[in-house]
Structure 1
Amino acid sequence: MLNSKYNERIFYRFCRRSVSSNEACQLFRICHVPPETPAYTEEYTGEAESLHLLLVIFLGIAANLDNLGIGLAYGIQKTRIPLISNLMIAVISMAVTSFSMLAGDRIAAFITPNAADWIGGLLLCAIGVWMLCQPKFGQVEAYEDAKTADTDGNRVISVREAIPLGFVLAANCLAAGFGMGVSGSSMLGTVLSVGFFSFITIGGSHRFGTLLARTWIGRYPAAFAGVLLIVIGLVEIML
Structure 2
Amino acid sequence: MSWSLALLTALTANLDNLGVGLAYGVKGIKLSWQANGVIAVVAFAFTWFAERAGSLIKLYFGVASAHVTGAVLIMAIGSWILGGAVFSTNHMYRPEQADRDRSQHISAQEALILGIALSVNAIPIGFEAAAFSFPELIMPCLIAIFSFLTLWCGVVFGKLLGAAHTGKRTTILSGVLLVVIGLYQLFSFISP
TM interval, shorter chain, is: 0.7 to 0.9
More helix by share: 2
What are structure 1's unaligned runs of at least 5 residues? Answer: 1-50
- The structure-2 alpha-carbon separation of the partners of 1:115 and 1:169, relative to structure 1 and needing over 3 Å to count, comes to closer
Map 1:1-239 → 2, pairs under 5 A:
52-135=2-85, 138=90, 140-141=92-93, 144-145=95-96, 148-151=98-101, 153-209=102-158, 210-211=160-161, 213=163, 220-237=169-186, 238-239=188-189
Q: How many residues align?
A: 185
Q: Deviations over 1:48-100 (max 9, x none)?
A: xxx61112112211221221222122222212111111111111111111111
Amino acid at match of 1:118: V
CA distance in 1, matches of 2:89, 2:146: 19
Amino acid at match of 2:179: I
- SS where residue 81 of structure 1 aligns? coil
How far the C-alpha of 1:190 sits from its partner, in A, is 0.9
TM-score by length of 1: 0.66
How far the C-alpha of 1:198 sits from its partner, in A, is 0.6
Partner of 1:43: none
Amino acid at match of 1:104: G
Amino acid at match of 1:138: N
TM-score by length of 2: 0.80
CA distance in 1, matches of 2:48, 2:55: 10
Bigger Rg, which one: 1
Amino acid at match of 1:159: A
Over the matched positions of the two proteins, sequence identity in percent amounts to 32
Amino acid at match of 1:75: G
Q: Is the 8 A contact 1:70 1:202 kept in 2?
A: yes
What are structure 2's unaligned runs of at least 5 residues? Answer: none
How far the C-alpha of 1:128 sits from its partner, in A, is 2.5
Amino acid at match of 1:127: I
